[in-house]
Amino acid sequence: MTTPANNLVYERPEAFTETPTHYCPGCTHGVAHRLVAEVLEEMNITDKTIGVAPVGCAVFAYNYFDVDFVEAPHGRAPAMATGVKRVLPDRVVFTYQGDGDLASIGMGEIVHAAARGENLTVIFINNANFGMTGGQMAPTTLPGMKTSSSQNGRDVETQGYPIKVSEMLSTLEGVGYCVRRSLHDPKNIRLAKKAIRTAFETQVRGLGFSMVELLSTCPTNWGMTPVNSLKFVEEHMIPAYPLGDYKISDAIKQIKI
Amino acid sequence: MAAKGWIEVSDTYCKGCELCISACPQDVMELNMSRLTPKGYHPAHTFKDGCTGCAICAVVCPDAAITVYREVTKVNTPVTA
């Protein structure tokens, strides 16, 4: 079959390396990676982007993006990104963090990076558990949700309520752009891509801290098929974590993509 | 006439997660149970005609394994007002 260039509709982004990801089949980490890679490619900033990888499932993110990367200690990606951005202010610096990394051990770093209004972009993957270590309860685990460390379901009387990171960070002055999106269907994936693009545009224009929270799946630790875990996101996670724009500063509203 | 397209699924990346199969609006995808990739997964493929090249399978694919093509039936000439 001939494949002339003008027939091409979609191909793997060039901002990806050739390495296959280590993620479980159907994990939407891969979708989030792909969206970031597509946005970096569209904005033509791959040669001046520095990513900061977290600890968690995305710990090997540096193997998959064809951009410069550093690996931060657990939860400290915003602190490390602050240093990188202050030393090299002309670079685009983003962190890619999961909920165990960002909302648990790294809560102090993310809150203070946002409060300082550091000119960073944070991609926050919320899949309601600690994926890499075996699905333990995370700060974002839903009430009643069974995990390997809350086997009768999360009991809010003893284990507390989930932390809604986007809502919390949107109250801080230094935050320019803070939205929550989901990766459970094609429409929401496209909306998520647009949000990631806006977040990077925010940083390029120096308009403050930008974060995109992405509701994600963890089929292996949730004990579901990939398709059923997308339904779980739609039926259980979105009611608990409503999608929406939590803070968009006036200057960012003017950005036309 | 509906647009005609086709896809190529990379054996290197496909993990047989079936997200593309449930997302395909034309229902022309399935896992190829007669083949295994080097990693040991049954890769997705199109099992009948009807692909329109809409690229929704590529949008949901977590591993960027799908390349999408669409047949060009005519050269678009710019409309002048």
> Cα(B31)–Cα(A94) distance, rounded to whole angstroms?
36
Tokens of B63: 């591993």
Q: Taking all residues of chain B, what is their mean pLDDT, rounded to a whole number?
A: 90
Please check whether residue B18 lies inside any domain of the structure.
yes
Q: What is the CATH number of the domain that holds B31?
A: 3.30.70.20
- pTM more than 0.90: yes
- Under an 8 A CB cutoff, do A185 and B60 touch? yes
User: What's the number of domains chain B is made of?
Assistant: 1
- For residue B64, the chain A residues in CB contact (below 8 A) are 12-13, 16, 30, 34, 37
Task: Give residue A187's pLDDT.
Answer: 96
Q: Which residue of A has its CA nearest to B73?
A: A7
- Low-confidence residues of chain A: pLDDT under 50: none
A196 touches chain B (CB under 8 A): no
B68 forms beta bridges with: A10, B7
Which of A7, A21, A190 has its CB closest to that of B72?
A7
Chain B positions contacting chain A at CB under 8 Å are 5-6, 10, 12-13, 15-19, 22-23, 39, 41, 53, 55-56, 58-72
- Under an 8 A CB cutoff, do A26 and B53 touch? no
Which of B39, B53, B67 has its CB closest to that of A12?
B67
Please check whether residue B22 lies inside any domain of the structure.
yes
Task: Give residue A257's pLDDT.
Answer: 80
Task: Give residue A110's pLDDT.
Answer: 96
Please check whether residue B81 lies inside any domain of the structure.
no
- For residue B58, the chain A residues in CB contact (below 8 A) are 9-10
* CA-closest candidate to residue A168, choices A202, A219, A131, A209: A209
Please check whether residue B78 lies inside any domain of the structure.
no
Task: Give residue B77's pLDDT.
Answer: 59
Domains recognised in chain A with CATH numbers: 22-130+159-250 (3.40.50.970)
- Under an 8 A CB cutoff, do B69 and A227 touch? no
Please check whether residue B36 lies inside any domain of the structure.
yes
Which of B15, B17, B58 has its CB closest to that of A10?
B58
Per the structure, the complete domain to which residue B48 belongs is given by: 5-70
Task: Give residue B76's pLDDT.
Answer: 58
Chain B nearest CA to A9, separation (Å): 5
Please check whether residue B46 lies inside any domain of the structure.
yes
Pick the more confident residue, B76 or B73.
Answer: B73
Please check whether residue B77 lies inside any domain of the structure.
no
Chain A nearest CA to B80, separation (Å): 23
pLDDT band at B75 (very low <50, low <70, confident <90, very high): low
In this predicted structure, the answer to whether residue B80 has a pLDDT above a threshold of 70 is: no
Tokens of A233: 């996101």
Task: Give residue B74's pLDDT.
Answer: 63
Please check whether residue B76 lies inside any domain of the structure.
no
- Under an 8 A CB cutoff, do B64 and A3 touch? no
Helix A186-204 to helix A29-42 angle (10° resolution) is: 50
